[in-house]
Structure 1
Amino acid sequence: MEETYLLNHPGVKKSILAGGTGPMPHFPPGTKLVFHFQTLLDNFERTVIDDSRLAGRPAEIFVGKMFKMEVWETLLTSMRIGEVAEFWCDAVHTGLYPIVSKGMRLIAQGKDPLEGQRHMCGMGNMFHYHSTGFPELDELMRTPQPLIFIMELLQVRDPMSYHRESWMMEKDEKLQTVPTLHMQGNALVKQRRFSEAASKYKEAVLLLKTVQSKEMPGDIDYINLGRMIVPLELNYCQCMLELEEYYEVIEHTTELLEKHKGKSCVCINTFPTTELDSL
C-alpha cells in the first residue's frame, strides 16, 4: 500500500486500498458524488467515529456547492469509480467535521439537520456548536485533531442526470417551483391519489420554509412567505385526513393554530371527496 501526498493540498495523505475502474471521471460543478465513508481517530486503536454503512445508506455531496468539509471534495475528486482509499487529514482540514457529522446523524434519524441553527448569527452559532449532543463530537470540537477517512466512491453523476434537491436551488428557483408543485398536487387530488398529492404539497412547503428561514422574522417577506405556506399546509392536512393519518393532521393543524393565535382565523373545513376546498 503506497502512501502519497495529494498535489497542492498540504496536510492530506492518500493510500489506495483498492483500485477503481475506468479513466478518471470529470467533475464539473454540480456533479453528484455518491460514496461510503468511515471516519477514524488517528490513535493506536483507530477508533471509528462514523460509518455510513451502519447508517444504511451512502453519503452524497455535490461538487462546488460549498460543502462544509471542503476537503472531502478534494479527496473524492482524486478517485476513480469503485476505488477505495484511506486519507489522513491534518487538523486544519477537520475542524468542521463535528458539525457535518451531527447533520448526517440527524438526517439518518429522520430529523432536520439545521434544527436550532436558524436565525442565529455567527457568534450564536459558535456557542450552539459547542454542544452537538454527541459526546465524541463535542470532544472533537474542544480538541481539533487529525482524522482518517476511508472512502469508497460508488457513483459520479452528471449535473443534468438527477433531480435537483431543494437545497441546491437558488431562492428564485425555489419560488418558481412552488406553483408547479401546487398544481401537480391539485391534479393528483382530483385523481384521488392523496398520498402522492400530499408529497407535492409537502415539498412545496419545505421549499417555502427554506426561503423563509433566510428572512428576518417579522419582515414583510417573512410574513408573505408564511401566508403562502398556510394553504399548502392545509391541503397537505386534508390529504392526510383522506388517508386517515389523524395524528399527522392533529400535529400540523395544532401547530398552525398556535402560529396564528391572535391573528386572522385559520379555518379547516371538511371537503368533498373529489376536490379540496383550499385548491
Structure 2
Amino acid sequence: MQDSMLLGSEGIKKTILHGGTGDIPKFITGAKVTFHFRTQLCDDERTVIDDSKVVGTPMEIVIGNMFKLDIWESLLSSMRIGEVAEFWCDIIHTGVYPLVSKSMRRIAEGKDPVDWHIHTCGMANMFAYHSLGYDDLDELMKEPKPLYFVLELIRVQQPSEYNRESWALSDEERLKAVPVLHGQGNKFYKQGRYQEAMQKYKEAIICIKNVQTKEKSWEVPWLKLEKMANTLTLNYCQCLLHIEEYYEAIEHTSDIINQHPGVVKAFYLRAKAHMEVWNEAEARQDFSRVLDLDPGMKKAVKKELAKLNVRMEEKNQEDKNKYKAQFHSGNPHSSRSALPPTPPQHQVTMASSSRPGK
C-alpha cells in the first residue's frame, strides 16, 4: 500500500509501505518502543547508512527520555504495530543523526555508546566534531543532508510492562539509582567479586554522565556530578589493580589527574599501577605528589615505597641473571673465537648492554 502524506511537522513526508494492525498504540512518557530502522541518503542509489536488520538487533527507545534524535518519537507515534513506513526528513531534523549513528554503531560493536572514562578539556571538546571515527558519518556531519528513515514498528510496551534498565530511566531516576549501584559495587568489592563490582560502578558512571551532558561544563551542578563520577571511576580503578589491568588503571587515573590535579587518590592509585609495571620513576613521582597533597598519607606511602624498593631490587637481580644466562649460552669459547683479532695498538673494551625492557 502506497499512502503518501505529510505529517504535522515541517520537513517530513511519510509513505506507508506496509500497513499495520489495530489502533495506533499509546506512546506515553516511559513507554518503550521496539522497532527496526534503515537510514538512507536521498541519492539515486538510496545509499544505506545504517540498517538494524543487518546488525540483527532492533532499536529500542523510551518515549520522553530525551533521545538525541527526538524526531523519531514523532515518526513512530504515527505508526501501528507491524507497520512499515518510509519517512523523508529534511536537514532540520537530521543534523544530529551522525552522533546518534555513532552511538548505535558502538553498541553493535560491543563498545560503550558513551566514552564515560574519557575526560577532555573544553578546548578539546570544541574540536571533537572533526572525527566521529567513521568516514561516512564525518562527511554527513560536515555537510548535513535530508535522509530517508524506513521504520518497522515491532511493539510498544507501557512503563508497567517491562523492567527498566538504567538507559531507560529519566534523569531523576538515574540520579536515584547511582547510590544504589555504588553500594552494590562496594558490596561486591568487599567480597572480592571485582568484575561484578566494576559492572555496578560502570553502570553508575554512565547514569551520571548521561545526566551531566545536559549541564553546562564547569558550573556547580556539572562539578557535583563530576565529583561523583570521579569517585566511582577511582573505585573502578581499584578493581582494575586487583585483576592486574594496570595500564587501563593508569589511563583512567591519568584522565582524572589531567582534569583535576588535586585528587589525591588518583595519584595514589596511579603510583601503585606504575609500580606493578616497573615504571619506577613515574611511581616515585606520583607518591611524592601524594605527600605534597596530603601529608597524612605518609605512613601508607612509606609502606608502598618499601615495596617498590624490594621489587626493583628483585627486578634488577632478575635482569642480571637473564643477561648472564644469555651471555654464557652456547660454547663459552665461541664468542671469543668469533671476535676479530685485536689490533696491538688499541685496547678494546666491551660495554655492557643496557638492561632489556620489560
Normalising by structure 2, we get a TM-score of 0.60
Q: By how many angstroms is 1:38 displaced?
A: 0.9
Change (3 A) 1:216 1:15: closer
Change (3 A) 1:158 1:257: same
Query: Does 2:183 correspond to 1:169?
Result: no
Query: Does 2:86 correspond to 1:86?
Result: yes
In the alignment, is the contact (CA less than 8 A) between 2:257 and 2:263 conserved in 1? no
Once the two structures are superposed, the pairs formed by residues 3-82 of structure 1 within 5 Å of their partners are 3-82=3-82
Q: Distance in 1 between matches of 2:227 and 2:145?
A: 47
In the alignment, is the contact (CA less than 8 A) between 1:37 and 1:59 conserved in 2? yes
* AA partner of residue 60 (structure 2): E
SS of equivalent residue, structure 1 residue 60: strand
Q: By how many angstroms is 1:27 displaced?
A: 0.7
Change (3 A) 1:198 1:113: closer
Q: Distance in 2 between matches of 1:117 and 1:265?
A: 17
In the alignment, is the contact (CA less than 8 A) between 2:13 and 2:88 conserved in 1? yes
Q: Distance in 1 between matches of 2:259 and 2:101?
A: 32
Q: Distance in 1 between matches of 2:72 and 2:80?
A: 14
Q: Distance in 1 between matches of 2:70 and 2:225?
A: 32
Q: By how many angstroms is 1:117 displaced?
A: 11
Which structure is richer in relative contact order (CA contacts within 8 A, separation 6 or more)? 1
Change (3 A) 1:23 1:3: closer
Q: Distance in 2 between matches of 1:93 and 1:225?
A: 30
Indicate the larger mover: 231-240 or 138-147. Answer: 138-147
* AA partner of residue 184 (structure 2): Q
* AA partner of residue 149 (structure 2): F
Q: Distance in 1 between matches of 2:43 and 2:99?
A: 21
Q: Distance in 1 between matches of 2:191 and 2:248?
A: 22
What stretches of structure 2 of length at least 5 have no aligned partner?
A: 274-358
- Name whichever structure is richer in helix by fraction: 2
Q: By how many angstroms is 1:28 displaced?
A: 0.4
SS of equivalent residue, structure 2 residue 156: strand
Once the two structures are superposed, the pairs formed by residues 40-189 of structure 1 within 5 Å of their partners are 40-109=40-109, 110-113=111-114, 129=129, 132-141=132-141, 143-160=143-160, 161-166=162-167, 168-170=169-171, 173-189=173-189
In the alignment, is the contact (CA less than 8 A) between 2:62 and 2:168 conserved in 1? no
The alignment of Structure 1 onto Structure 2 pairs a total of residues equal to: 265
* AA partner of residue 105 (structure 2): R
Partner of 2:2: 2
Q: Distance in 2 between matches of 1:176 and 1:22?
A: 37
Partner of 2:196: 196
Change (3 A) 1:243 1:21: farther
Change (3 A) 1:176 1:44: closer
Q: Distance in 2 between matches of 1:146 and 1:220?
A: 38
SS of equivalent residue, structure 1 residue 16: strand
Q: By how many angstroms is 1:242 displaced?
A: 3.7
Q: Deviation per CA, 1:242-271, whole angstroms, max 9, x where unpaired?
A: 44444433433444555554654543479x
Change (3 A) 1:27 1:119: farther
Identical columns (%)? 48
* AA partner of residue 185 (structure 2): G
Q: Distance in 2 between matches of 1:22 and 1:211?
A: 37
Q: Distance in 2 between matches of 1:87 and 1:256?
A: 44
Normalising by structure 1, we get a TM-score of 0.73
Q: Distance in 1 between matches of 2:3 and 2:147?
A: 16
Partner of 2:251: 251
Q: Distance in 2 between matches of 1:94 and 1:231?
A: 37
SS of equivalent residue, structure 2 residue 200: helix
SS of equivalent residue, structure 2 residue 27: coil
Q: Deviation per CA, 1:159-204, whole angstroms, max 9, x where unpaired?
A: 242325358432x544433222222122233444332222112222
Q: By how many angstroms is 1:132 displaced?
A: 4.6
Q: Distance in 1 between matches of 2:23 and 2:43?
A: 35
What stretches of structure 1 of length at least 5 have no aligned partner?
A: 271-279
Q: By how many angstroms is 1:48 displaced?
A: 1.1
Q: Deviation per CA, 1:15-49, whole angstroms, max 9, x where unpaired?
A: 33333344321110122212211111223211112
Q: Distance in 1 between matches of 2:6 and 2:29?
A: 21
In the alignment, is the contact (CA less than 8 A) between 1:104 and 1:113 conserved in 2? no
Cα RMSD of the aligned pairs, angstroms, is 3.8
